[in-house]
């Protein structure tokens, strides 16, 4: 299994805009993500105090995790999140060493 982690930071002053953008992205992203091969789980998390958004997804293979990078619905959300004040860190794909 592969865990894909996308992380972003924002200034607390932009928290409300980022939260609204993140929550509204669910409408278009959930159907697109559900249609992807190999997706096991997906989590979108927000910490307004720390100014952090973390998207964590679990995939059955490295190839399926990498396919996320070309998902049109996800690519369309990036400029929306950036306009709300988000600054993205590089995405990492990591192989699961163990799980519960």
- CATH classification at residue 38: 3.30.70.100
Rounded to the nearest 10 degrees, the angle between the axes of helix 15-34 and helix 72-83 is 180
- The average pLDDT across 1-13 equals 97
What the block records as the tokens of 20 is: 């609204």
In a domain, 100, yes or no: no
Domain count, the chain: 1
Domain that holds residue 77: 2-95
- Domain assignment of residue 60, yes or no: yes
Statement: the pTM of the whole predicted model exceeds 0.85: yes
Distances (CA, A) of 6 to 81, 85, 88: 13, 16, 8
Residue 84 lies inside a defined structural domain of this protein: yes
pLDDT in tens, 18-44: 999 999 999 999 999 999 999 999 999
């Amino acid at each position: 299994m592969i865990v894909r982690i996308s992380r972003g930071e924002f200034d607390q002053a932009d928290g409300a805009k980022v939260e609204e953008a993140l929550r509204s992205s669910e409408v278009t992203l959930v159907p697109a993500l559900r249609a992807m091969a190999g997706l096991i789980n997906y989590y979108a998390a927000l910490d307004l105090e720390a100014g952090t958004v973390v998207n964590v997804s679990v995939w059955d293979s490295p190839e399926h995790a990498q396919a996320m990078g070309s998902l049109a619905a996800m690519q369309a959300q990036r400029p929306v999140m950036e306009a709300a004040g988000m600054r993205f860190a590089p995405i990492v794909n990591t192989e699961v060493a163990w799980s519960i």
